[in-house]
Amino acid sequence: MKRFLAALLAAAACGAAGAPPAVTLTHFRGGVYIAVDTFYAAENSVVYVGPESVTVVGATWTPETARLLAAEIRKVTAKPIREVVVPDYHPDRAGGSAYFRSIGAKVVSRRQTVELLKQRWDQAVREVRAGQASYPALAAALPDTVHEGDYELQGGRVRALYTGPAHTPDGIFVYFPEERVLYGNCILKEQLGNLDSADLVEYPRTLLKLKAMKLGYTAIIAGHFSPVHGPELLDRFLEMLAAHGRGAR
Ligand SMILES: [Zn+2]
Q: How many CA atoms lie within 13 A of 229 on its CB side?
A: 24
The model carries a pTM of 0.92
Share of the chain above pLDDT 90, in %: 91
pLDDT for 121 equals 98
Q: How many CA atoms lie within 13 A of 211 on its CB side?
A: 15
Cα separation, 8 vs 41, whole angstroms: 27
Cα separation, 169 vs 116, whole angstroms: 9
Q: What is the pLDDT of residues 143-197, one digit of tens each?
A: 999 999 999 999 999 999 999 999 999 999 999 999 999 999 999 999 999 999 9
* Mean pLDDT, range 102-121, rounded to an integer: 98
CA dihedral sign of residues 178, 235, 163, 41: negative
Cα separation, 156 vs 128, whole angstroms: 34
247 vs 120, which has greater pLDDT?
120
- Assign 224 a pLDDT band (cuts: 50, 70, 90): very high
Q: How far is the CA of 92 from the centre of ligand 1 (A)?
A: 6
Contact of 61 with 214, CB cutoff 8 Å: no
Residue 59 contacts by C-beta under 8 Å, 6 or more apart in sequence?
45, 66, 84, 86, 93, 94, 95, 96, 97, 99, 100, 107
Q: How far is the CA of 57 from the centre of ligand 1 (A)?
A: 13
pLDDT for 247 equals 84
pLDDT for 248 equals 64
Domains in the chain, CATH or no CATH each: 22-248 (3.60.15.10)
Q: What is the pLDDT of residues 182-218, one digit of tens each?
A: 999 999 999 999 999 999 999 999 999 999 999 999 9
Residues with CB under 5 A from ligand 1 (ion): 92, 186
